[in-house]
Amino acid sequence: MNTALLNIVFLNVNGLGRRASKLELILKDYEDKDVICLCETWLNDDVASSLSYDQFDVYYSNRPITRRARRSSGGLLCLVNKRLKNCVTVINNTHVDILWLKLDNIGNLNPICLGLVYISPEDSSWHAISNIDLHRVIARQIGYYHDQEYDCLVVGDFNGRTGILPDYVEHDNNSIHLPLDNQYTVDVGDMPPRHSEDSIVNNFGHALLDMCKVSGVHIVNGRYFNDRHQGLHTCHTSNGGHSVVDYLLCTTHSTASILSGFEVGDMTTLSADHCPLLFAVSSHGVMGDLQYWWNEACNQKRLVFRHHIQV
Please give the pLDDT value at position 176. 56
pLDDT for 152 beyond 60: yes
Mean pLDDT of the chain: 85
Side-chain-facing half-sphere of 102: CA atoms under 13 Å: 17
114 Cβ neighbours under 8 A, 6+ residues apart = 8, 35, 37, 78, 100, 101, 102, 103, 153, 154, 155
**What CA–CA distance (Å, rounded) separates 220 from 263?**
9
Closest by Cα among 286, 225, 298 to 257: 286
Specify the pTM: 0.86
pLDDT in tens, 154-163: 999 999 999 9
Most confident of 147-151, 187-191, 253-257: 147-151
Q: Model confidence over 169-214: pLDDT tens digits?
A: 876 655 555 555 555 555 655 678 999 999 999 999 999 999 999 9
In the predicted structure, residue 302 carries a pLDDT above the cut 50: no
6-305 is a CATH 1.20.1070.10 domain:
no
Phi, psi of 90, rounded to the nearest 5 degrees = -80, 130
Written in H, E and C, the secondary structure of 17-40 is CCCHHHHHHHHHHCCCCCEEEEEC
The share of the chain scoring above pLDDT 90, in percent, equals 61
Question: Among candidates 65, 134, 148, which has minimal Cα distance to 94?
Answer: 134
